[in-house]
Amino acid sequence: MRKLTWVPNTHASLDHRFPRIWEEWGRSADHAEPQTVEHSEKSVDAHVLGDGLDIRTQPHDFAKEDPFCSLTAACANVLKSFSGGTPIIPWKSDVAAALTRDFGEAKTWISREGIVLLAGELSFTSFLRVPSPINIFSSMAESLGYKLELSPAGRTCEQIIHALGSIRAMGLVARGPELLKFLDRLAHEDLEVELEGEEGDGAKRMALRCGECQHTSWFSLESLKPRMSCPHCLKKFSFPSGSPPQRNQWAYRVIGPFTTGGFAGGAYCVGAALNFLTEKVARDSNWVPSFTMRNPAGEEFEADFGMLAKPSRFGHTSSPHLIIGECKSFNRFEARDFARAEEAASLFPGAVLCFCTFNEALDKQEIKGLTKLAKQGGATRLHAA
């Protein structure tokens, strides 16, 4: 454009709206793929208070001394990462509103690049919920009128992953069924094992039999007393000082979240599924273990895990892929599991339903249930692993 000419006897209006370059919905509606050019990346100070994130926008260099530059909207700041993680977030406006909490800041968007904030000549403070996986999924639930929280099994899974150090370590624990069954026997006190050294997720204990109920229980060194309480019948019995336990009655047993029965409440299968998906399918993702959603009407929805996977840069979709998981350790999928998957497909149209199990093959009833679910149609995709 070389020249603008004013036409006599005409009127002009000022449009305060912004181009939809940073609004993911606008990109999709306009069938436009922006060519993003990044000028620089900066680390900024952010303050976390409880569940909130206080972050200060950074104006571009050209805005600092330009007298005609917008005070509030000269460029965009993109929050690409926080605490080492990429905020993979659905770009629906209602999810964004729940995440930003609507603190009077209307110019906040969610895009495939991250959380987009406007900045100008002046630097302002923006208030968001911390873009952690649990907050992102909570925002999704709130956009549907539900409240989300981790289930007891989900908290156990979190604790096991934390104890192991990373989600990748779950792949080592779940490498073979023999190891999983061995850990489950330890959790049920059906087996004790002697370990060399003093390190590991175990504690040395003594096997003592209660004189009242005749059950054998394991007691830590700190709990050994002249009179002890049986964890089975709750009666008191005396320490057998006349016939002290032999060396083979001392052993190690698992402690912490590993003591949960039923293959850690299904946490081993959930962790193994998340490890597989993050390693083989979606390297950039946010996930939460087993969770429960409830709405004010008392309706409830449960899932064994949820994952938001970042789409490929070469794909035709821009919004993250939502994966809802249903897991079984060595049990079989039943009618209630398929009913729960149908509910997930209804709540989250277009989601990927992922059935995961440690069993080597599906039986006829499971295949029948999965086939029926797949034939129902819709945009929901179905995977079994």
Question: Integer distance in angstroms from the first to the last C-alpha of the chain?
Answer: 57
251, 205 in Cβ contact below 8 A?
Answer: yes
| Rounded Cα–Cα distance for residues 372 and 369 (Å) | 5
**pLDDT of amino acid 199:** 43
CB < 8 Å & 24+ apart, contacts of 92-95: 92/25, 92/143, 92/319, 93/25, 94/143, 95/136, 95/139, 95/140, 95/143
Question: Under DSSP, is residue 124 helix (H, G, I), strand (E, B) or coil?
Answer: coil
By DSSP bridging, strand 46-49 and strand 52-56 are antiparallel
With vertex at residue 155, the alpha carbon angle to CA 151 and CA 158, rounded to the nearest 5 degrees, is 140
| Rounded Cα–Cα distance for residues 311 and 51 (Å) | 27
| Rounded Cα–Cα distance for residues 68 and 72 (Å) | 12
60, 120 in Cβ contact below 8 A?
Answer: no
| Rounded Cα–Cα distance for residues 207 and 76 (Å) | 65
Establish how many alpha carbons lie within 13 A of residue 243's alpha carbon, considering only the half-sphere containing its beta carbon: 3
Which residue reads 């990927």 in tokens? 352
Q: What is the pLDDT along the chain (385 residues), one digit of tens a residue?
A: 566 677 777 777 766 665 566 666 666 666 666 677 777 777 777 777 777 778 877 777 766 667 767 666 677 788 777 665 566 777 666 676 677 654 444 567 777 777 887 777 666 777 777 888 888 899 889 989 999 999 988 998 998 888 888 888 887 777 777 877 877 777 765 444 444 444 444 455 677 777 777 777 777 767 777 888 887 777 888 877 666 566 555 555 566 677 777 888 888 899 999 999 988 888 788 899 999 999 999 999 999 999 998 877 656 666 788 999 999 998 999 999 999 999 999 999 888 999 999 988 999 999 999 988 888 765 445 555 5
